[in-house]
């Protein structure tokens, strides 16, 4: 039973690391792009928000897997 809890924790942790790093890099690059071309900030912001939503979906999938693992208790 303890192993299921550990597996759920690892599922969330591993599923969060990648998107977290990706979101930080994407936001950084978007800020650089806006600083270089302020007139394109609307398009850049829209693309950034869409990309962040897709990355966040990966984290939510990890949380879903963790709930599925914990449901086996």
Domain residue limits, the chain: 2-70
CB 18 within 8 A of CB 61: no
* Superfamily the domain 2-70 falls into: F1F0 ATP synthase subunit C (1.20.20.10)
Return contacts of 8-12, CB within 8 angstroms, 24+ apart: 8/65, 8/66, 8/67, 8/69, 8/70, 9/66, 11/62, 11/65, 11/66, 11/69, 12/62, 12/63, 12/66
Token duo for residue 59: 């984290």
pLDDT, one tens digit per residue, over 45-57 is 999 999 999 999 9
Token duo for residue 38: 């302020």
pLDDT, one tens digit per residue, over 23-39 is 999 999 999 999 999 99
């Amino acid at each position: 039973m303890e192993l299921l809890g550990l597996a759920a924790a690892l599922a969330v942790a591993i599923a969060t690391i990648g998107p977290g790093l990706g979101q930080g890099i994407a936001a950084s690059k978007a800020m650089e792009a806006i600083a270089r071309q302020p007139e394109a900030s609307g398009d850049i912001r829209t693309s950034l928000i869409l990309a962040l939503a897709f990355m966040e979906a990966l984290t939510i999938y990890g949380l879903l897997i963790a709930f599925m693992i914990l449901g086996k208790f």
